[in-house]
């Protein structure tokens, strides 16, 4: 499926973006191994999260889709059962990496598989810590990739003190999930702060978890106490409309009930630093805070994004690159290595697309250098490269083009934002 996007005169109105993808995944993962019933309201029904839901159904969890919620009857830490065959996770790296930690604590073998894209993403980073804890995790086709065979330790897992080689919320979450099954205290140390949705949710479910700066400790063998979850809007999805409103003259939008977890608002911090007019209205509280955001057209300027900031806006870098190309001056994004091992190589995908639209962009070692100042992007035929965030970022750039743009192969957007094109067209005037 291809999209045709025409330039816009302004972006206006109120938008409610889809529920947070990261929180939706974790609500299923940890809800399924909690010790009772819970409801998840505002669950994201995108393809990736449905893969997680179906995976836990195949592992014996009772999960009921209601009209406006998901009901889970938790099986307890050790209540899952062996699936009848391999568990297919589509394109969801979050599912595969965090589930690996849960499955490492079970007393049966599971095989996790994925689509062509997921089967190219690195899994050694979860295999190694799980092996240290006593689980047997093996890539069935060799190398560093899925499909993965996971057989839990017959006895309790071993606690470890582990230094993450990269700041990755998925890897951290995998180790903490396995730590639920360890006989003792597992310690995870990060080089930089990454998303903390797992720590928040485990604490909300009364796990024995403690966090101090970049170190998180979890003591295992305590059952999780289920509590209902109300998932806020996904700031990663909101970021496309934030950048669109900042770039297109005459724009003024309100985004309703967006998640404001401080390990996810790096994109807001960077765009404000670039001169973006972004206001937070009525911020809420709770274990996952949320609030409304008001965004208006702004004259942006270039900035430097340091490697330490990357884990806090890893998914928003493609659309930030669009903002940087239209900003005055040069933007340098450091520490871009993790962008090369996402659903696609996002450094390559964004560099090729933005270059085709007339922007100056180049990768220099571990940095992305963007020469700003584009007033109007050149209309072009653009490629998604099978990556939802690349596709949506190029849709935003197309709003500031000098003619109609075509974006190819956009079915991938259904993994996180099935109604994106409709919302964009409703907001664009």
Based on the domain organization, do 84 and 100 belong to the same domain?
A: yes
Q: What angle do CA 341, 303, 428 make, to 5 degrees?
A: 75
Q: Are residues 64 and 207 in the same domain?
A: yes
Judged against a pLDDT cut of 70, whether residue 341 lies above it is answered with no
Does 297 share its domain with 191?
A: no
| 3-class secondary-structure state, position 65 | strand
133 and 166 both lie in a single domain: yes
Would you say 298 and 282 are in contact if contact means Cβ atoms under 8 Å apart? no
- Listed residue (189, 87, 174, 187) closest to 130, CA to CA: 174
Residue 285 has pLDDT above 90, yes or no: no
Please report, for the domain that includes residue 51, its CATH number: 3.65.10.10
Q: How far is CA 263 from CA 7, 199, 250, in A?
A: 33, 11, 31
DSSP per residue over 372-405, as a string?
Answer: ---SSBPP-EEE-TT-HHHHHHHHHHHTTBSS-E
Domains identified in the chain, total number: 2
CA gap 105, 86 in Å, rounded: 18
Which two structure tokens, joined as six digits, stand for 308? 């330490």
Sheet holding 367-371, edge to edge: 304-305, 330-334, 367-371, 360-364
For the segment 127-145, what is each residue's pLDDT rounded down to a tens digit?
Answer: 999 999 999 999 998 888 9
Residue 333, pLDDT above cutoff 90: yes
Q: Indicate whether 404 pLDDT > 70.
A: yes
pLDDT of residue 343: 60
Q: How much is the average pLDDT of 41-47? A: 94
Q: Same structural domain for residues 209 and 313?
A: no
- In angstroms, the CA 333 to CA 364 distance is 10
From the list 23, 85, 80, the residue with the least C-alpha distance to 56 is 80
Q: Using an 8 Å Cβ cutoff, are 167 and 193 in contact?
A: yes
Catalytic residue numbers? 315
β-partners of residue 362 are: 369
What length is written for the chain? Answer: 429
For 292-309, the pLDDT digits (tens) are 999 999 999 999 999 999
pLDDT (0 to 100) of residue 300: 98
Domain of 106 in residue numbering reads as 21-230
Boundary residue ending a domain (186, 205, 230): 230
More confident of the two residues 283 and 339: 283
- Its sign, for the CA torsion 141, 146, 152, 153, is positive
Strand partners for 305:
333
Residue 54 makes CB contacts below 8 A (sequence gap 6+) with none
pLDDT of residue 344: 67
- One domain, residues 210 and 281: no
Q: Are 153 and 104 in contact (CB under 8 A)?
A: yes
Give 304-328 pLDDT, tens digit per residue. 999 999 989 989 999 999 999 999 9
Q: Which of 214, 230, 246 is the last residue in one of the domains?
A: 230
pLDDT of residue 325: 98
Most confident of 148-152, 178-182, 412-416: 178-182
Query: Same domain, yes or no, for 209 and 268?
Result: no
The residue behind tokens 């969801």 is 92
Query: Rounded to two decimals, what is the model's pTM?
Result: 0.91
40 lies in the same domain as 160: yes
Helix segments in 59-168, DSSP class H: 93-103, 124-132
* Whole-number Å distance between alpha carbons of 316 and 38: 31
On whether both 265 and 388 belong to a single domain, the answer is: yes
User: Using omega within 30 degrees of 0 as the cis cutoff, is the peptide bond preceding 147 cis?
Assistant: yes
**Tokens of residue 410, six digits:** 């956009």
Residue 263 has pLDDT above 90, yes or no: yes
Share of the chain above pLDDT 90, in %: 86
**192 pLDDT above the threshold of 70:** yes
Cα(266)–Cα(270) distance, rounded to whole angstroms? 6
- Residue 14's CB is within 10 A of a number of other CB atoms, namely 11
Q: Are residues 185 and 84 in the same domain?
A: yes
**Rounded mean pLDDT of the chain?**
94
> The dihedral of CA 98, 236, 189, 34: what is its sign?
negative
Beta strands at 3-5 and 405-408: parallel, antiparallel or unpaired: antiparallel
Predicted confidence at residue 348, as pLDDT, reads: 87
Show which of 204, 230, 256 is a domain's final residue. 230
User: Domain check: are 10 and 155 in the same one?
Assistant: no
Statement to judge: residues 42 and 165 lie in one domain: yes
Give me 429's structure tokens.
């005037």
pLDDT tens readout for residues 71-121:
999 999 999 999 999 999 999 999 999 999 999 999 999 999 999 989 988
Q: Count H helices and E strands in the chain, helices first.
A: 12, 23
Strands 367-371 and 330-334: antiparallel
- DSSP structure class, residue 68: S
């Amino acid at each position: 499926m291809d999209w045709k996007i025409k330039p816009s005169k302004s972006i206006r109105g109120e938008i409610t973006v889809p529920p947070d993808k990261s929180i939706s995944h974790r609500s299923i993962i940890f809800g399924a191994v909690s010790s009772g019933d819970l409801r998840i309201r505002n669950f994201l029904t995108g393809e990736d999260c449905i893969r997680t839901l179906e995976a836990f159904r195949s592992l014996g969890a009772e999960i009921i889709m209601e009209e406006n919620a998901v009901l889970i009857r938790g099986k307890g830490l050790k209540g899952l059962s062996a699936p009848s065959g391999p568990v297919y996770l589509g394109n969801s790296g979050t599912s595969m990496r965090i589930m690996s930690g849960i499955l490492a604590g079970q007393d049966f073998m599971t095989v996790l598989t994925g689509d062509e894209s997921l089967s190219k993403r690195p899994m050694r980073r979860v295999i190694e810590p799980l092996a240290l804890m006593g689980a047997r995790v093996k890539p069935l086709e060799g190398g560093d990739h899925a499909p993965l065979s996971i057989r839990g330790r017959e006895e309790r897992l071993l606690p470890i003190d582990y230094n993450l080689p990269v700041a990755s919320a998925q890897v951290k979450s995998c180790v903490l999930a396995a730590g639920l099954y360890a006989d003792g205290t597992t310690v995870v140390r990060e080089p930089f702060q990454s998303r903390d949705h797992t720590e928040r949710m485990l604490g909300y479910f009364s796990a024995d978890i403690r966090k101090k700066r970049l170190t998180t400790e979890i003591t295992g063998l305590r059952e999780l106490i289920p509590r209902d979850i109300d998932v806020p809007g996904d700031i990663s999805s909101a970021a496309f409309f934030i950048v669109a409103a900042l770039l297109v003259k005459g724009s003024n939008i309100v985004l309703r009930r967006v998640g404001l977890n401080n390990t996810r608002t790096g994109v807001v911090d960077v765009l404000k630093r670039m001169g973006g007019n972004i206001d937070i209205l009525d911020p809420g509280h709770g274990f996952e805070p949320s609030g409304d955001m008001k965004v208006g057209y702004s004259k942006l300027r270039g900035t430097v994004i340091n490697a330490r900031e990357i884990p806090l806006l890893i998914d928003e870098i493609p659309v930030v690159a669009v903002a940087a190309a239209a900003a005055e001056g040069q933007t340098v994004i450091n520490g871009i290595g993790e962008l090369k091992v996402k659903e696609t190589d996002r450094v390559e995908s964004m560099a090729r697309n933005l270059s085709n639209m007339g922007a100056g962009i180049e990768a220099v070692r571990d940095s992305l250098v963007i020469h700003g100042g584009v007033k109007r992007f050149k209309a072009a035929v653009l490629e998604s490269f099978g990556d939802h965030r690349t596709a949506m970022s190029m849709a935003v750039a197309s709003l500031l083009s000098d003619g109609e743009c075509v974006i190819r192969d956009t079915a991938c957007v259904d993994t996180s934002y099935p109604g994106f094109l409709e919302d964009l067209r409703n907001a664009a005037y």
